[in-house]
Amino acid sequence: MRTIEHWSVVEDGSVTSPLGFQAGGLHCGLKKTDRNDLGVILCEVPAVAAAVYTTNVFQAAPLLVTRDSLKDRRLRAVVVNSGNANACTGKQGEEDAFAMRAEAASVFGLEEGDVAVASTGVIGENLPMEKVIGGISKLPAAAAYGTDGAEQFSQAILTTDLVKKTACVKLTIDGHEVTIGGACKGSGMIHPNMATMLAFVTTDAAVEPEVLQSLLVDTTNVTFNMITVDGDTSTNDMLLVMASGLAGNEPLSPAHPQWEAFAEAFRYVNESLAKQIARDGEGASHLIEVQVEGGNSDTSAGAIAKTIVGSSLVKSAVFGADANWGRIIAAAGRAGEPIDPSNVDIKLGPILVLEGSKPVAFDEEAALEYLKGDTVQIFVNLHGGAGSATAWGCDLTYDYVRINAAYRT
């Protein structure tokens, strides 16, 4: 709960809002339409970098390359293609991912180890490398400071997302203005064979390398790891953050007096991006936010929150505007976490529906109206401890089935 926000939102800000970053995008031929399918974020100095990757056993080839480049926690660029995930592509796929890195390093005049690679799209098909290499050679002309380049990049990373997803805040640290921007894509595994959640966050803050990695891990645990669209984790998920340091502040670490402010601003950006992904879940018509408090621990509360927001029956009930606490409590009870079954409260938005595990009378009309709103909040108080957590998801609709049941006739 934030009572004082140390940051302010930058409307229409994105990955090029922090000092030192250019971005760009173009169409190189991976997508059938002429939509952008190749993009780049470029930093004019070696940026301190950190990343987190999917825990899926099947890791797409680009992740191998990016892990290699991130060994020294420094990056100058990340090249991203959509339309092809370069996943389950064997040795050829690995060679292709390294070739993407090599070409990008070449055309931008960089060391290969300063370039990361990401891919999203169809699984199991090799990259058409002539198109990719050809596209990369045109990226330097496409990369630019400012909003146009950022817009091109945001479009380049989308697969069948309905909307681009960006976020940006600024705050003051050591008297210097620091900006944090981000762009992401994904809404679960949206389209037959397409995968992935990708997020790119840039900042001009000066941050120590190991500190940035820790912050990313901690922040991911309460943002991107707390969203579920359909429970699936792709082969390509990756979150990458680059910090140019050009804001000129004293390098941030937990010892810095304004560390908390920075960490909260960073969390806000990631949370915003994560919620946008959940809201754009395939077929979704509602964002669902589940807040659990009174759990044994934050981890326990988190497991319960994710189980509730991931329950097909809870998701369907939201789609149907059904104030159905029975499904919420049943989902909570199967999360594998300890709960005192006699002392659970549940609220749907402002409407109390269960108190001390006993149903309470409520205004059905008011509940129906509330459930028709774009965001549906479910509050669960377990009265068991100090653990709390929030998870996000979306409703389960006919469109989800339509989008995912692709008839191949």
The annotated binding site is made up of: 159, 185, 196, 282, 404, 409
Residues 6+ apart with CB under 8 A from 194: 85, 120, 121, 122, 123, 159, 160
Q: Count CB atoms within 10 A of the CB of residue 192.
A: 13
The DSSP bridge partners found for residue 53 are: 238
Treating both helix axes as pointing N-terminal to C-terminal, what angle do 90-108 and 129-142 enclose, rounded to 10 degrees?
A: 30
CB 141, min distance to a copy of itself, A: 34
Given the complex with a copy of itself, which of 123 and 168 has the nearer CB atom? Answer: 123
Residues 6+ apart with CB under 8 A from 93: 60, 61, 86, 87, 126, 127
Per CB under 8 A, does 36 bind a copy of itself?
Answer: no
CB 50, min distance to a copy of itself, A: 23
| Cα separation values, 295 from 53, 339, 349, Å | 28, 8, 19
Per CB under 8 A, does 218 bind a copy of itself?
Answer: no
Given the complex with a copy of itself, which of 326 and 350 has the nearer CB atom? Answer: 326
Q: x/- string (CB under 8 A) for a copy of itself, residues 228-267?
A: --xxxxxx--------------------------------
The interface with a copy of itself within residues 172-201 (CB under 8 A) comprises 188-189, 192-193, 195
Q: Using CA atoms, how far apart are residues 294 and 200, in angstroms rounded to an integer?
A: 33
Given the complex with a copy of itself, which of 139 and 382 has the nearer CB atom? Answer: 382
Catalytic, 160? Answer no
Per CB under 8 A, does 142 bind a copy of itself?
Answer: no
CB 66, min distance to a copy of itself, A: 17
| Cα separation values, 306 from 30, 390, 403, Å | 35, 8, 23
- C-beta separation of 300 from 387 below 8 A: yes
The interface with a copy of itself within residues 295-314 (CB under 8 A) comprises 310-313
Question: Applying CB under 8 A, which part among 66-74, 157-165, 293-301, 392-400 lies near a copy of itself?
Answer: 392-400
- C-beta separation of 395 from 312 below 8 A: no
Q: DSSP letters along 42-88, please? A: EEEEEEEEEEEE---SS--HHHHHHHHHGGGTEEEEEEEEEEE---S
CB 310, min distance to a copy of itself, A: 8
Q: Using CA atoms, how far apart are residues 306 and 290, in angstroms rounded to an integer?
A: 8
CB 28, min distance to a copy of itself, A: 23
What is the β-pairing status of strands 198-203 and 238-243? parallel
Contact residue for a copy of itself among 32, 57, 175, 257 (CB under 8 A): 57
For 53, phi then psi, to 5°, come to -125, 165
- C-beta separation of 236 from 72 below 8 A: no
CB 232, min distance to a copy of itself, A: 5
Q: Using CA atoms, how far apart are residues 111 and 5, in angstroms rounded to an integer?
A: 39
Given the complex with a copy of itself, which of 103 and 161 has the nearer CB atom? Answer: 161
DSSP 227: B
Chain-centre distance of CA 357, in angstroms? 34
Question: Applying CB under 8 A, which part among 56-64, 72-80, 171-179, 216-224 lies near a copy of itself?
Answer: 56-64
Per CB under 8 A, does 396 bind a copy of itself?
Answer: yes
Q: Using CA atoms, how far apart are residues 119 and 83, in angstroms rounded to an integer?
A: 8
Catalytic residue (choose from 16, 54, 66, 196): 196
Per CB under 8 A, does 206 bind a copy of itself?
Answer: no
Contact residue for a copy of itself among 1, 55, 71, 361 (CB under 8 A): 55
Per CB under 8 A, does 407 bind a copy of itself?
Answer: yes
Per CB under 8 A, does 409 bind a copy of itself?
Answer: yes
Given the complex with a copy of itself, which of 12 and 364 has the nearer CB atom? Answer: 364
Residues at the annotated binding site for substrate? Answer: 159, 185, 196, 282, 404, 409
Q: DSSP letters along 18-30, please? A: STTEEEEEE--SS
Per CB under 8 A, does 59 bind a copy of itself?
Answer: yes
Per CB under 8 A, does 373 bind a copy of itself?
Answer: no
- C-beta separation of 348 from 323 below 8 A: yes
Given the complex with a copy of itself, which of 33 and 409 has the nearer CB atom? Answer: 409
Per CB under 8 A, does 329 bind a copy of itself?
Answer: yes
Residue ranges that bind a copy of itself, judged by CB under 8 A? 55-59, 87-88, 90, 122-125, 188-189, 192-193, 195, 230-235, 310-313, 316-317, 319-327, 329-334, 337-339, 341-342, 354, 357-359, 364, 368, 396-398, 400-402, 404-409
Any idea which residues carry the catalytic annotation? 196
